[in-house]
Amino acid sequence: GQQVMQIPQYQHVQEGEDFTTYCNSSTTLSNIQWYKQRPGGHPVFLIQLVKSGEVKKQKRLTFQFGEAKKNSSLHITATQTTDVGTYFCAGHWGYQKVTFGTGTKLQVIP
């Protein structure tokens, strides 16, 4: 079945360092969404990418969708302690078909 893998599974960074998580799908996606889940919280929507090669920015966060629409990345510049949490991609691959990635847990050391 449809699989969406994320790497790394865990990442510890010093505050101020950059962070990147990668999302890879086994099949071509129609679009991809990114969510953030704080410890003890629920997933919160960050952004949606639809077009091949699309790049979007939100302050220190940069999101990319691969040309083949099978992979995506989230890059955080100069991490802050407020960035702590687990980041999930969610790949959409048909009408109401969605598979969440395995998640990357980010820990920021002050």
Partner 1 sequence: DTAVSQTPKYLVTQMGNDKSIKCEQNLGHDTMYWYKQDSKKFLKIMFSYNNKELIINETVPNRFSPKSPDKAHLNLHINSLELGDSAVYFCASSQEGGLPYEQYFGPGTRLTVT
Q: Does 48 bind partner 1 (CB under 8 A)?
A: yes
Q: Does 84 bind partner 1 (CB under 8 A)?
A: no
The closest of 71, 97, 79 to 1, measured between CA atoms, is: 97
Q: Does 43 bind partner 1 (CB under 8 A)?
A: yes
Q: Does 105 bind partner 1 (CB under 8 A)?
A: yes
Contact residue for partner 1 among 14, 42, 59, 110 (CB under 8 A) = 42
Task: From residue 90, give the alpha-carbon distance in Å to each of 9, 47, 81, 94.
Answer: 15, 10, 24, 12
State which residue, 26 or 37, has the beta carbon closest to partner 1.
37
Number of H helices, E strands in the chain: 0, 11
Task: Judge contact between 91 and 23, C-beta under 8 A.
Answer: yes
Under the rule (CB under 8 A), what is the footprint of partner 1?
30-31, 33, 35, 37, 41-45, 48, 50, 86, 88, 90, 92, 95-100, 102-103, 105
